[in-house]
Amino acid sequence: MAGYKKEKREKVLSKKSRPSKKPKTPNLCNCLSYVKSFFRFIYDFIVSFIFYFIYKNTPSKILPPVEDLLVLDSCTTLVNKIKNKEVTCRHVVECFIKRIEQVNPILNAVVDTRFDKALAEADEYDKLIELADTEDKINLIFDGKPLFGIPFTSKESTGAKGMAFTFGLVSRIGMKSNEDAEVVKSLKTAGAILLGVTNVPEINLWCETRNKVYGQTNNPYNTNHTAGGSSGGEASIVSACGSPLGLGTDIGGSARIPAFNCGLFGHKLTTGFINTKGMTFRKGTEKQTMVSAGPITKYAEDLTPIIKAFLGPEKSLELKIDQEVDLSSLKYYYVDKPNDARVSPISDELQIVLDHVIESIASITELPPLKVKFSGTCYSYSLWRHSMTKEESDFCATLGNNQTRVSVWTEVPKTIVGCSNHTLAAVLKLIDLQLPQVNAVWADAEIEKLSNEVSTLLGDDSVLFFPSSPTTAKHHYEPFLHPYNFAYWAIFNVLKLPVTQVPLGLGLNGLPLGIQVVAGMNQDRLCVAVAKHLELKFGGWKPPFTTKVP
């Protein structure tokens, strides 16, 4: 199979090198496409100009520099320091608590904390290390706990025992979770210590983090811009060094969007490997779902141990997470235009950084990355919207806290007069549910076709580079005028493939750039390996504050 794919690829490359045929006469479809592109450009330009004008006299709030350089360390480095008795677990936890207290008034990312309990747990871990008087005993303590003593935060919509559990719903104010979600349990079992929970959009279904319980979360690079959503609180606090590890969930880009906006690594695991119990109202018994989970971190080296913590020993073996990857032997492909008419085209800045990625990969592999096109990506939003109809949750009931169904006919008038308890994003979702659905037979056929095309191309030895976003992080509220752009991320939830969002430095406006690295089903380790290479080449996460540390 590998030989066949290589031969096929060489034929494609050979064809590309042949003299081009006589250009075809432009037809009506091409003309219409140019017209659409022109009006799309004008629309995007006008929207960007309006929001630039709105915010131009509003200075961004500046994050203070870190006081203890320990918060700049990776999870891997912190574990080694704890193991070698260079620092105590208590000191590590104290450093991140202090950092949260420094930056959270600016970011509004962390919405509920358990600092006293976290310090008590850290003390218990320190006692274990103190009593271990031999190297063998130390190793035994750390065996099976790749995150021993590492603080972490989690989304408020993912259950954490004793923590706020409102999902951003006014009707759930004051509610606490009675137990840990399975994904939270997995990190605690791996030795991680929960510091608190972070802000989310109402019911998680929006690409900005804002609700009527806690308010709006800000981007650490520029507080006039969105942190993304739905794991926006996670990404914001991790990038600001208030937490070394964020627990993200992802049903339409919810972990990768904020990771991109906040200059971080965000990984969506192959769908189906995570128990969803405790994620909002989910029971973990869903027959099928697009939702998955994954880490949000500053450093690529942390992805593997955290993924192992999520999966446990058996599933880690199944996905061969620890298996070495020879990057030079992989095949590489890329897409620069999804061609979905509803989404904005990729900006020149992100196109240039994609080109640099291709150049970097071309230097380590025999065959250069090949540009590909999938017809199905032009329906990205429609296919995701159709797939959402197969989720077992009922949005109208969920919005009513499963006590009542919220009606669009009563909620729209309330929104108009400013007395709705729900955000505009939630109300727009109610309106969207009233619009005609796409033909289910057509959509299922398109999903199957696209899935087969991508799976056949990638197999178990290839990766695909795909734009993370058409632009850098938008101003607050601006995504309402670009409501379909999240389809850049959401299409891979439809396909249920593993994806890593990789930061690639900062743009001219000081906001993060990035790229998505996609692999075949169950090939998460390929995404991570390529992410590590790109981190070395492009520098990875850049602090959103001044620091003397390079």
SS3 508: coil
Which pair of structure tokens corresponds to residue 124? 């218990």
Cβ–Cβ < 8 Å for 211, 426: no
Angle at which helix 440-458 crosses helix 380-388, to 10 degrees, equals 110
- Provide the annotated active-site residues: 155, 230, 254
SS (H, E, C) 153-217: EEECCECCECCECCCCCHHHCCCEECCCCHHHHHHHHCCCEEEEEECCCHHHCCCCCEECCCEEC
Angle at which helix 75-83 crosses helix 135-142, to 10 degrees, equals 150
Phi, psi of 297 (to 5 degrees): -140, 165
Q: How far apart are CA 310 and CA 324, in angstroms?
A: 20
**Which DSSP state fits 327?**
G
Q: How far apart are CA 273 and CA 257, in angstroms?
A: 21
Beta bridge partners of 540: none
Please give the single-letter amino acid code of residue 230. S
Which pair of structure tokens corresponds to residue 22? 């006589």
* Locus of tokens 């208030």: 242
Containing 309, the helix (H) or strand (E) segment is: helix 303-318
Residues in CB range of 550: below 8 A, 6 or more apart: none
